Amino acid sequence: MQIKRYRGADMQEALQRAKEDLGADAVILSTRQVRGGSGTFGLFGKPMMEVTAARDTDGGELTPDMALAGSGGPKGRLHQMIRNRGTSPSEHEFVRQMMAKGQAETQSLLTPLQDEIQELRGLLQATSESTRNGLRDEAAVRQIRSEMGEIRQLLQNLSMQSAGMRDANYPENLVVLFQQLIFNGMEEKFARRLIEESMKNIPSTEIHDFSYVKIFLARMLMKIIKVSGGLAGGPGKRTIAALVGPTGVGKTTSVAKLASEQLLKYRRQVALITVDTFRIAAVEQLKVYAKIMGVPITVVNTKDEMRAAIDKFKQADVILIDTGGRSQRDDLQMSEIYTLFRGADDINIILALSATTKDSDLTEVTRRFGEIPLSAVMFTKLDESTTFGSLFNHAIRFKLPFAYLTTGQKVPEDIEVASKERLVDLLLNISNA
């Protein structure tokens, strides 16, 4: 199996490049928006679309599930090793072969940042020359200086943290993984605790084996994460689920995706309820989805009306409730949502959060909405984020199970049941090692 990435100015161009290279039978695994240009972080690059596609090189039929799992290839083997409690000597040798360059590559983590500073300095110099010629873009100067300051601060923090780990005589493997965790957005105290536990428990004979240490860390992370398995249910068992959360995280679209999943994949009867009467467009959007899917929908305003609608849909296997966005800092809005679901023990209340939200804001939102209480959490907009440490910070702080992840706007495609393997891979990038 061959897996490659293609970039283009838009989705059509990226897809065309994938089809031209891999052929008409190529399977599209994922899409995301990235920034082009030189430098690892592409601070000044234009937005581009990136497509990850796969082609079966063994002549067999390739499906998206096979491609994502690795179909027994290197990716599948690595994921299997994460799941297994032990690792055989042959598997150790396999990982050594697959990741022989991993340590050297990861040790150069700081080099791209230094390159970016040089690039910014060049741009600042060019701007200064323009100033001498009577031209000046104040906004560009402010942006360059701000980004230089941010990168310098990041370099300084990362260097100080890494120096502390080295002073404590941690092996370079653990220092490098510590850097990776911090760089990906994990809170320092959580990352340090993981590294300390790894140091205590990894055999001295394996501590200098980068691949062994990385997979050991992956197993530790999988013990931290809880997953709910999506919407539980089965023949004769009714499931009622409500999505709550702040504005702009994609609750209405996610409700439509969940309805499609339950209807098409599990062949369950679905009904929709919306209490989002302030955003008329959102209500109409959900009505359109309901009409396309051929499922009933009711608009309600109060808790009594919601309970009456639930009773009306007694034949439905799954009832999904869409709610309007609430600001965690607006006491009146939060009081309304508390009143709506107080004592509703038969409703699975799922908190929808965006993966692009700041870590401190995720904490504040969850604490306020956690008074409902919550059954699980789902993270949206993974396609718009480049770091995922905040998901693990959230898992450690609140111990809420992950229900779903969404990766785009398409209904019903861009949603997946959260799995431990997928979440760990987002953080450690094992499948692309």
What CATH number does domain 239-417 carry, 3.40.50.2300, 3.40.50.300, 3.40.50.11310, 3.20.20.80? 3.40.50.300
pLDDT by residue (tens digit) across 312-360?
998 899 999 999 877 777 777 788 888 888 888 899 999 999 999 999 9
**Does residue 78 register a pLDDT over 50?**
no
Rounded percentage of the chain residues whose pLDDT exceeds 70: 64
Mean pLDDT of 308-314: 93
Q: What is the pLDDT of residue 102?
A: 44
- Residue 272 pLDDT more than 80? yes
Per the model's pLDDT, the better-predicted residue between 39 and 269 turns out to be 269
> What is the tens place of the pLDDT at every residue in 226-251?
999 988 655 567 899 999 999 889 89
**Res 401: pLDDT:** 96
In this prediction, residue 82 carries a pLDDT of 54
Pairing state between β 402-406 and 415-417? antiparallel
Section 19-47 average pLDDT: 60
Structure tokens at 241: 């689920």
415 CB-near residues (< 8 Å, 6+ apart): 254, 257, 258, 261, 404, 405, 406, 407
Only one residue has tokens 């038969």, namely: 346
In angstroms, the CA 314 to CA 73 distance is 47
- Residue range(s) in the chain whose domain bears CATH number 3.40.50.300: 239-417
pLDDT at 98: 42
Range 131-159 average pLDDT: 59
Please, what is the end-to-end C-alpha distance for the chain in angstroms?
A: 16
Q: What pLDDT is recorded for position 90? A: 46
Q: Among candidates 370, 424, 356, 426, which has minimal Cα distance to 400?
A: 370
Number of Cβ within a 10 Å radius of residue 1:
19
